[in-house]
Amino acid sequence: MQEQEEERGLLLQGQHVTLEPFTADSITPDYVDWLNDHELMKFSNQRFRRHSADSCRAYVASFAGSGNLFLAIRHQGRLVGTMSVYRSAVHGTADIGLMIGRGGGGRGWGRDAWATMLAYLLARGTRKVTGGTLRCNSAMVRIMQACGMQADGVRAAQELVDGQPQDVLYFASFQAAC
């Protein structure tokens, strides 16, 4: 409970981005447009849903008291993406998700956000941090590999993208043994 209280005011500074709790104030028309942009969401299951400010507020509210995190990724104060962290305290694990908004790809913001959160979780005692992506999402694969994550499994032909079966690749980092 104390950790949840501390994380309400969480502010993590990477080399290029800042991670902070995503609040209802961050739900702007531009943000909702990102979620409804089929091309931007082409590798995300968000592409199968229609989003509104109300659905976004409900999603943000679902994190309250859960022990999980939903964070805004900001560059020079501007919202450039979001990050989710789903944790299992009983297993000592956390699974990270990442979305970089329109125009933010290829700037290193995703890698910086990922590396910053990965370091934070491992330093706070998380035993195993995981992430997954479609094989065809080469940018996300590169981020996880660049952050030193190791292969942790494959679900062959698990999801369809443009009607074509795609593998889901899983990656993991473990807390260093003493």
Interatomic CA distance for residues 174 and 167, integer angstroms: 23
90-146: per-residue pLDDT in tens?
Answer: 999 999 999 999 888 889 999 999 999 999 999 999 999 999 999 999 999 999 999
Average pLDDT, the chain: 93
In this prediction, residue 104 carries a pLDDT of 85
Residue partners of 28: CB distance under 8 A and separation at least 6 = 79
What pairs with residue 168 in β-bridges?
Answer: 134, 155
Q: So what's the pLDDT on residue 49?
A: 92
**Predicted model pTM:** 0.92
Residues 79 and 72 sit within 8 Å (Cβ to Cβ): yes
CA–CA distance, 82 with 89 (Å, rounded to integer)? 22
Asked whether the beta carbons of 85 and 68 are under 8 A apart, the reply is yes
Average pLDDT over residues 53-65: 95
Full set of structural domains in the chain with CATH? 2-131 (3.40.630.30)
Instruction: Note the pLDDT of residue 103.
Output: 85
Q: In this predicted structure, what is the pLDDT of residue 178?
A: 41
- Distance, first Cα to last Cα, the chain: 26
Please indicate whether residue 65 or residue 5 has the higher confidence score (pLDDT).
65
In this prediction, residue 74 has a pLDDT band, given cuts at 50, 70 and 90, of very high
Give the mean model confidence (pLDDT) for residues 17-40.
95
**Nearest of 152, 159, 118 to residue 136 by alpha carbon:** 159
**Are 77 and 16 within 8 A, CB to CB?**
no
Please answer whether residues 43 and 98 qualify as being in contact, where contact means their C-beta atoms are separated by less than 8 angstroms: no
pLDDT band at 1 (very low <50, low <70, confident <90, very high): very low
